[in-house]
Amino acid sequence: MACIGKIYSVSALVGNGTCNANCDFCSGKYLRPQAMENQNYSKNLEAAIKLSARYGGWSLSLTGSGEPTCDPNALTKALEVYNKCADQGAYFPNVNLFTNGILFGDEKFCDEYLDPWKKLGLNNIAVSIHSVDETEQAEVYNLKSYPPLEQIVSNIKAHGLGVRATLLLRKNGVDDSDRYESAVKTLIDEGIDNITSWPVGNPDGTRNEYTPSRLGIFKIKRWLHHNAKLCHGHVWGGGVYDYKGNILRITDYVTKHNPNKDFVRQLVVFQDGTVAYSWIREGALCMK
């Protein structure tokens, strides 16, 4: 057993589990039965934030078993917990909301919620991108249409928040170096200069029918090696690259907790109040 020396981040599921999309490969559906009011949730979220901050944590990610923006009040409550922690010294330089981006195409929604969320500490919106083509993006989400990415970016930036992209690597989508390069360049042209990618897979980190081939992922990593400069590697795999002044990050979707390592990639706060050392809870429980 190793003593923990670093807890890099906190990921918190928020919201009631509803979603305005219907992805065939949704990895959050199995968690939706837990998406209900829990008396321990806020208390344990606060504890996880303070614990991570004590061990050098630098990032809070807000996500959900559905689409978190479909339950904006729950997002507000989670950010209020973080704001309390930040006022007490448990401050993170990166507070990110992970979203499918659909509601950020609505200017009225942005006007109602983004300024209050920013005041509570939110500083980045990370939009999940399966395709930079709006028609293909809508098809992946099983929607009739998807808001123009230009509109989403403009609406978010109008409120002084950063826009990031989660460029998901998916079979028959962005699944090789040519499609990756094309998507990255399009996103940069749209004003998104911070792009994270990981391959779609099962919640336990195993491959499924939507996971790109190993060769395709290898070619993407080789493209990064030849075309971008490595800033630093992640101890759990992957790394951060400088591509013409833009940030490209590639990582694994899930990292299983290893009790023999002296670091924790993230504390995960589940909606039933459980806090675990990874998304795979078995053998990784922290508090309940």
Both tokens of residue 124?
Answer: 């980045």
Residue 1 maps to a domain = no
The CATH number of the domain holding residue 105 is: 3.20.20.70
Q: Name the domain count of the chain.
A: 1
**Below-70 pLDDT ranges, the chain:** 1
Residue 156 maps to a domain = yes
Give the burial string for 251-270 (b: 16+ CB within 10 Å, else e).
Answer: bebbbbbbeeeebbbbbbbb
pLDDT at 1: 62
Q: Is the whole-model pTM more than 0.85?
A: yes
pLDDT at 253: 80
Asked whether the CA dihedral 249, 61, 119, 101 is positive or negative, the reply is: positive
CA dihedral 23, 171, 173, 163 (to 10 degrees): 60
Please tell me the distance from the alpha carbon of residue 285 to that of residue 248, in angstroms, as a whole number.
31
Burial class (CB in 10 A: 0-12, 13-18, 19+), 108: exposed
Residues near 136 by Cβ (< 8 Å), separated by ≥ 6? 130, 173
Residue 254 maps to a domain = yes
> Kind and range of the H or E element at 273?
none
Q: At what angle do helices 72-87 and 107-119 cross, to 10 degrees?
A: 20
Residues 61-81: tens digit of each pLDDT: 999 999 999 999 999 999 999
Please tell me the distance from the alpha carbon of residue 113 to that of residue 245, in angstroms, as a whole number.
31
The values of phi and psi at residue 204, to 5°, are: -90, 10
Both tokens of residue 39?
Answer: 């008396």
Q: How far is CA 43 from the centre of its chain?
A: 22
Rg for the chain, CA atoms, rounded: 18
Which has the closest alpha carbon to 14: 80, 86, 71? 71
pLDDT at 256: 86
Which residue range(s) make up the domain with 193? 6-287
Q: Classify residue 102 by its DSSP letter.
A: G
Count how many residues are written for the chain: 288
